[in-house]
Amino acid sequence: MYIYKRRVKFYETDGMQVVHHANYLRYFEEARVEYLREGGVDLTELMEKGIVFPIVEVNVKYHQSAHYDEVLLIKTCLRRVDRARLDFDYEVVSEKTGALLTTGHTVNTYTDMKTGRIVRLPKEKLTRLIDISKGDRE
């Protein structure tokens, strides 16, 4: 599991200073990218090789609202990894109260940047992802 910490910005909220629901997808993406970076998988390097990771499925459940200036912990787990897809689970938690605010799940695949066709991840990158996510799948 990787824990990504961030503070809610004012522009991410509505008139009641509650985080707009669409921003949780951004939080998931930030956490997912940092998870991969921390594990040694550089998305820029893969994009230079023509490989991107589009999301093909997303699920979000809102439990409680997050608010302006609140510090959030986005707990990210890579639950499934193979040469065709990545499945991530997320929990957004208030650092101050420990309350579970939002849960989510995304499914990514690997595609050729130019053609949009599904491609296989290079073996060395797959091995790295399997290694960094071992604890997430036990």
Q: At which residue do the structure tokens 């073996």 appear? A: 123
Q: Which residues are catalytic?
A: 14
Least Cα distance to 93 among 64, 60, 68, 61 occurs for: 64
What pLDDT score does 124 carry? Answer: 87
What pLDDT score does 18 carry? Answer: 97
What pLDDT score does 39 carry? Answer: 85
What pLDDT score does 41 carry? Answer: 87
**What are the sequence ranges of the domains in the chain?**
2-137
Distance (Å, whole) CA 74 – CA 93 = 6
Q: Is the dihedral of CA 107, 56, 117, 32 positive or negative?
A: negative
pTM of the entire structure? Answer: 0.93
* Mean pLDDT, contiguous 10-residue spans, the chain (138 residues): 97 95 97 92 91 95 98 97 93 98 97 93 88 88
Helices vs strands, H then E, count in the chain: 3, 7
The class that CATH gives domain 2-137 is: alpha beta
What pLDDT score does 4 carry? Answer: 98
